[in-house]
Amino acid sequence: MSTIPTWDQFMAPSLRVLADGETHRARDVCNAAADKLGVPESARADSSGQGQASLNT
């Protein structure tokens, strides 16, 4: 079982990060959402299989 949540599980935490009305880089939103979801650092470096890091794009 993967420790990385699915994209739909990232939506609500990502929207909470964006709710402050500030401009955010996608990487920062992903990392903040991962923090809120408790995704461990080791899982953040996993490859998505599409040539990009799952959370650190």
Residue boundaries of the structural domains of the chain: 8-44
Residue 56 pLDDT > 60, yes or no? Answer: no
Q: What is the pLDDT of residues 29-39, one digit of tens each?
A: 999 999 999 99
Query: Full-prediction pTM beyond 0.75?
Result: no
Q: What is the pLDDT of residues 3-52, one digit of tens each?
A: 788 889 999 999 999 999 999 999 999 999 999 999 998 888 754 554 44
Can you give the pLDDT at residue 46? 59
Can you give the pLDDT at residue 31? 93
Question: What angle is formed at CA 57 by the lines to CA 25 and CA 53, rounded to 5 degrees?
Answer: 155
CB 30 within 8 A of CB 39: no
